[in-house]
């Protein structure tokens, strides 16, 4: 008869969760602090959320970040599907090892090296830094993450379903779009969410590849926090946490509904 978790395991889990989430809880609580001093509680207030809505620089940075995230995540997911299909179904082709290494290299490479490499590339090609250089950089970096997620799902997919559709006269591309893609849709959605979240969070690569008019929210927050912690930063961070949490909850609910209907 197996016993439950020991007291040591329970304490370890509680300490680990507390270490991870206590700072986030404090940040959310102090985003409603009426005092300008971030470490002194001055009563409940939403003044800093109102201040965010009146700060044009923060709003511009949020808009740039969302556009970069949406476009780069979509591009990375689309290319990730193609790369995953090549790796999962093409067998051993010439150059497979090099192709795999190029796809997965950003997973192990420091972001500073990636940012500097992309910067040198854009300078060598004479491309002015701005919104599109940041977007292309984020799509390049998040492509590997999207490929890993989608390839893992394709490896478990029953290829006989697609083959049956092709035997019934469906062209290969149409069979993939009508049979395979709907079945791997949860993995595609997860890959997109991961790429979008990584884009929202990035600071290092955006700092190397951004230009005038392309300041992302992490860059704006970092530049402000160097001058001192402003309670407005707590409010912006709380809004980001709320957006990401809502996306994760929505994805979980959609996945649960799909499992129930299956």
For the chain, the domains span 55-228
Q: In this structure, how many other beta carbons lie within 10 angstroms of the beta carbon of residue 145?
A: 20
- What number is the average pLDDT over the span 154-175? 82
For residue 232 the two structure tokens come to 């407005």
* Mean pLDDT within 166-191: 84
Statement: residue 262 has pLDDT above 70: no
- Mean pLDDT, the chain, whole residue set: 84
pLDDT at 68: 93
Q: Average pLDDT in the 165-178 region?
A: 82
What share of the chain has pLDDT > 70, as a percent?
96
- The CA distance from 218 to 216, in Å, is 6
DSSP string, 141-184: HHHHHHHHHHHHHHHHS-HHHHHHHHHTT--HHHHIIIIIHHHT
Average pLDDT over residues 40-46: 81
Domain 55-228 classification at class level: mainly alpha
Per the DSSP assignment, residues forming a β-bridge with 33 are 44
Count of other CB atoms within 10 angstroms of residue 239: 15
Lowest mean pLDDT among 51-60, 181-190, 219-228: 219-228
Residues 86-141 pLDDT 10s: 888 777 777 778 888 888 888 888 889 999 999 999 999 988 988 999 999 999 99
Give the model's pLDDT for residue 1: 46
């Amino acid at each position: 008869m197996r016993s439950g978790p020991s007291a040591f395991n329970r304490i370890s889990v509680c300490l680990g969760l507390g270490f991870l989430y206590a700072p986030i809880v404090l940040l959310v609580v102090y985003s409603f602090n009426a005092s300008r001093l971030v470490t002194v509680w001055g009563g409940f207030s939403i003044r800093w959320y109102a201040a965010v809505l009146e700060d044009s620089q923060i709003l511009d940075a949020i808009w740039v970040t969302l556009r970069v995230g949406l476009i780069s995540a979509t591009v990375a997911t689309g290319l990730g599907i193609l790369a995953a299909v090549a790796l999962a179904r093409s067998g051993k082709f010439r150059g497979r090892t090099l192709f795999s290494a190029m796809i997965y290299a950003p997973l192990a490479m420091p972001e500073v090296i990636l940012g500097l490499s992309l910067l040198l590339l854009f300078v060598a090609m004479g491309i002015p830094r701005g919104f599109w250089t940041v977007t292309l950089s984020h799509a390049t970096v998040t492509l590997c993450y999207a490929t890993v997620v989608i390839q893992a799902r394709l490896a478990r997919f029953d290829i006989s379903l697609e083959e049956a559709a092709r035997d019934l006269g469906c062209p290969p591309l149409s069979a993939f779009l009508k049979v395979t893609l709907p079945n791997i849709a949860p993995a595609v959605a997860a890959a997109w969410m991961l790429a979008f979240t990584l884009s929202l969070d990035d600071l290092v690569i955006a700092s190397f590849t951004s230009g005038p008019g392309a300041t992302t929210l992490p860059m704006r927050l970092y530049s402000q926090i160097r001058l001192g912690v402003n309670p407005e930063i707590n409010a912006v961070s709380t809004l980001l946490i709320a957006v990401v949490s809502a996306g994760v909850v929505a994805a979980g609910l959609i996945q649960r509904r799909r499992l129930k209907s299956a």
